[in-house]
Structure 1
Amino acid sequence: MVVTAEYHQSARTPDGARLSVQVRGSGPVLLLLSGQANSHHWWDRARADFAHDHTTVTFDYRGTGGSSSGVERYATELFARDALTVMDSLFIDRFSVYGTSMGGRVAQWLAVLAPQRVDMLVLGCTTPGGEHALHSDVAVRRRLMAPDARPYLLSLMYTRQWIATHAGPYHVLGDPTMTTTDRQAHLRASSTHDAWDVLPSIEASTLILHGTDDALIPSRNAQLLERRIPRGRVVLFEGARHAYFDEFRPSAADVVLEALGTRSS
């Protein structure tokens, strides 16, 4: 399927949730999965790096953007099943997946649940979850629980030099339209993710990306994923923090496009 025009639509899950879907670009299909408590706007800047070579598909997780909420418990596996619903609604059978942060956790389940549909997997700034994962420092987590943690979260996403020359808006700090209930449900979904036991069953060639200075999700998780996924390969971005895909573009996008075999000349 090749899509040349940008358009939006809705998809319905088997349990009745409404998912807001966005499609842009043309070429082989690339599904982009956002981070925790973020809508498709997470990809607003980086998406342009792929839309020339790919039909890019995003959707708003339950409780974010234009999607509905209402389930008692969210989970990364549930979000992966939602992603399959989205692709079914677009009549897309095969596609590649690029998930960052919690989106990388969702992408792991997607590759496990539908191995025959995922051509290539890209996991960015993410973790296998569970007891084997390497978590952020206790001091980091404590500061993120403060009443106004937004400036600190921004410093975890980008380097000081980049922040000084880029005034925003920043689309990786959480969807401001979310309810507190949905935000907490996203946090639980992300923090309870555990794909350790199923990672060896991933069949897709897997590119694993991480910034070396990521204090939110330590970069050593990339090596853990590489050792668990049979066809995994790690690329690190020196000096990058959590939002490497934004600050370090287009170099980060070039690595992905080269792995996908679709980089423009």
Structure 2
Amino acid sequence: MTGTERLPHAFARAQDGTALAHQRSGDGAPLVLLAGQANNHHWWDGIREDFHGTHSTITMDYRGTGASDKPETGYSTEQFAEDVIAVLDALGIERADVYGTSMGGRVAQWVAARHPERVRRLVLGCTSPGGRHGVERDASVRRALAQPDPQAAREALTDLMYSPSWRTTHPGPYNTLGDPGAPPHARRGHLLASNRHDAWDALPGITTPTLILHGGQDRMAPPDNLALLAARIPDTRTHLFPEARHAYFEECRAEASALVSAFLTSPGASN
């Protein structure tokens, strides 16, 4: 992994006035990268440059994280999706590719379902349709993450993100374990937003060509969700990384980024 990248912030305004920090780097067609729950744009450090041969990458700090405002309200995957649209509007971008992982994949579902004209191609990673149809993590995972000892809970989260063999050669620090600057109310808001996500009824309306990626050993968002999403979204292709956990995009970076790049630039991608 690389160290924390320093990118300049620009700001957009959400419908409720919340200031939304966003970052853009590289040249080419716009690619929006959406991070996981209670994380900021650093989730994509060391990965975003994989796409700079063909795309400029756009990240954002969700409300409650990073340099964005941290309001008491407005935490839902639907609102996060509207915040993405506010960022695109501020940048003057009519249409973009969208790649969302974990909770970012849940947000991306709403962006594509509610604003199909704004999404050229969609990539969903390690995510779920949510609601009663989604396959949720089991009780042992929830207990491990809710331990009163913060260090023990952080170690449990790290183990869910990365396989032990990968961690021996990649000792961190890791950028996917939550924004340390997010206040408690924002972390709670993000948790509730992810838990309450339910896009099941909206998924058949996603007409954008979609690539779905998942780690085969993912206990945070069990891999059965890949098949559920693929069956529900009309135009999909899928790939499973058999040995990867939740953060497949880092552990299998070379293969995952190559798959995404090939999908985004494949024949017909301009449709």
Residue 72 of structure 1 and its aligned partner are, at CA, apart by 2.1
Tell me, yes or no, if the aligned pair for 1:46 and 1:249 is still in contact at 8 Å.
Answer: yes
Residue 245 of structure 1 and its aligned partner are, at CA, apart by 0.3
Moved more, 65-74 or 90-99: 65-74
Residue 71 of structure 1 and its aligned partner are, at CA, apart by 3.8
Residue 8 of structure 1 and its aligned partner are, at CA, apart by 2.6
Kindly indicate whether residue 206 of structure 2 is the aligned counterpart of residue 205 of structure 1.
no
Give the aligned partner of residue 25 of structure 1.
Answer: 26
Kindly indicate whether residue 186 of structure 2 is the aligned counterpart of residue 185 of structure 1.
no
Tell me, yes or no, if the aligned pair for 1:210 and 1:244 is still in contact at 8 Å.
Answer: yes
The share of aligned pairs that are identical, in percent, is 53
Q: What is the SS of the residue equivalent to 2:117? A: coil
Give the aligned partner of residue 224 of structure 1.
Answer: 228
Tell me, yes or no, if the aligned pair for 1:7 and 1:24 is still in contact at 8 Å.
Answer: no
- 2:238 paired residue among 229, 234, 239: 234
Amino acid at match of 2:197: H
Residue 40 of structure 1 and its aligned partner are, at CA, apart by 0.3
Residues 206-245 of structure 1 show CA distances to partners (whole Å, capped at 9, x for unaligned) of: 0000000001110010000000000022110110000000
Give the aligned partner of residue 156 of structure 1.
Answer: 160
Pairing 1:111-150 to 2, within 5 Å after superposition: 111-147=112-148, 148=150, 149-150=153-154
- Any unmatched runs of 5+ in structure 2? 1-6, 267-271
Give the aligned partner of residue 59 of structure 1.
Answer: 60
Tell me, yes or no, if the aligned pair for 2:12 and 2:22 is still in contact at 8 Å.
Answer: yes
Amino acid at match of 2:87: V
Residues 158-217 of structure 1 show CA distances to partners (whole Å, capped at 9, x for unaligned) of: 010111111211000000001111101100000000000010000100000000000111
Alignment coverage as a number of residue pairs: 258
Amino acid at match of 1:10: F
Residue 73 of structure 1 and its aligned partner are, at CA, apart by 4.1
Give the aligned partner of residue 3 of structure 2.
Answer: none
Give the aligned partner of residue 82 of structure 1.
Answer: 83
Return the alpha-carbon distance in structure 2 between the equivalents of residues 32 and 71 of structure 1.
25
Q: What is the SS of the residue equivalent to 1:81? A: helix
Return the alpha-carbon distance in structure 2 between the equivalents of residues 127 and 36 of structure 1.
13
Q: What is the SS of the residue equivalent to 2:165? A: helix
Return the alpha-carbon distance in structure 1 between the equivalents of residues 27 and 74 of structure 2.
35
Amino acid at match of 1:235: H
Give the aligned partner of residue 70 of structure 2.
Answer: 69
Tell me, yes or no, if the aligned pair for 2:105 and 2:124 is still in contact at 8 Å.
Answer: yes
Amino acid at match of 1:233: R
TM-score where L is the length of structure 1: 0.95
Moved more, 182-191 or 64-73: 64-73
Which runs of structure 1 show a deviation greater than 3 angstroms over 4 or more consecutive aligned residues?
Answer: none
Give the aligned partner of residue 91 of structure 1.
Answer: 92
TM-score where L is the length of structure 2: 0.93
Amino acid at match of 2:176: V
- Say if 1:80 and 1:239 are closer, same or farther in 2 by CA, change over 3 A: same
Return the alpha-carbon distance in structure 1 between the equivalents of residues 220 and 213 of structure 2.
14
Return the alpha-carbon distance in structure 2 between the equivalents of residues 128 and 167 of structure 1.
32
Residue 117 of structure 1 and its aligned partner are, at CA, apart by 1.4
Kindly indicate whether residue 263 of structure 2 is the aligned counterpart of residue 259 of structure 1.
yes
